[in-house]
Amino acid sequence: MTQPTHWPVARLRLMGSGLWILAGALAVLGSFLPLVEHSVRQAPTSTRGEELRVTLWGLTTTSSANDPFPQFGIPVVIAAVLLAAAAVLGLTSTRLHPASGPVLAARLIGTAGTGLLIGAIAQPLALFRVFSDESFLGPFFEPDAPGLGTWLLLVSCLLGITAIVLMLVPKIAKRGEEPETPPMGIPVVRVLEPEYDEPADERSEAAQPTDPKG
């Protein structure tokens, strides 16, 4: 039977599970928000144009509907599902031993979900960074600052990593508690002599003094 863990560690697991839920929610929300926004001008001297917005689910402009675009948001949703599953396991195993099955499963699934989330976000962001370069866009594009979706996705990655650290804490020592000193040295063994009643004649002979001259 495994021993329950200490309350401080259980509280850290609660916090880690909550951060995984928050990271998954922010990742899904950020995938639908603009990552990159560009202003497209009709001519180099024109002040009017159309807006180009890029999300993980597609590319939209103010003059046309969604154009064909890779669905980068699918891996993000899968990662959010893994983080939610890890959070549920973490919430239901806060008092269990660190070596128990639910705790190990929560750590493994949460780490896998966080890794998938980081990879799913890094790939499109690296791609959009190349497309946002002024030499690639040309004189008709005006690159803007990263959109709100980019910041939400980055925050979700940081929250996922923080949750992993909180879930991996095995034990917190109490303040002022010193480690138990192992026994050292040679144990002292006391030999107990048998107790018995001496006969009366032996006690009288022992009490009589003996003459050294014989």
The token pair that represents 85 in the structure block:
């599953």
Residue 76: give its domain's CATH number. Answer: 1.20.140.150
In a domain, 192, yes or no: no
In a domain, 184, yes or no: no
Give the global pTM: 0.68
- Overall number of domains in the chain: 1
Q: Which residues contact 162 (CB under 8 A, 6 or more apart)?
A: 16, 19
CB 27 within 8 A of CB 79: yes
Each residue's pLDDT expressed in tens, for the chain with a length of 214 residues: 444 555 577 888 889 999 999 999 999 999 999 887 766 655 555 555 567 778 888 877 766 555 667 788 999 999 999 999 999 999 888 777 777 888 889 999 999 999 999 999 998 888 776 555 555 455 545 556 678 899 999 999 999 999 999 988 765 545 545 556 666 667 666 666 666 555 555 555 555 655 555 5
In a domain, 183, yes or no: no
| 99 CB neighbour count, 10 Å cutoff | 9
Render the burial of 183-196: b for 16+ CB within 10 Å, e for the rest: eeeeeeeeeeeeee
Q: Which domain holds residue 51?
A: 7-167
Q: How far is CA 85 from CA 12, 64, 178, in A?
A: 17, 39, 38
In a domain, 189, yes or no: no
**124, 137, 136, 131: which is closest to 56 by C-alpha?**
124
In a domain, 18, yes or no: yes
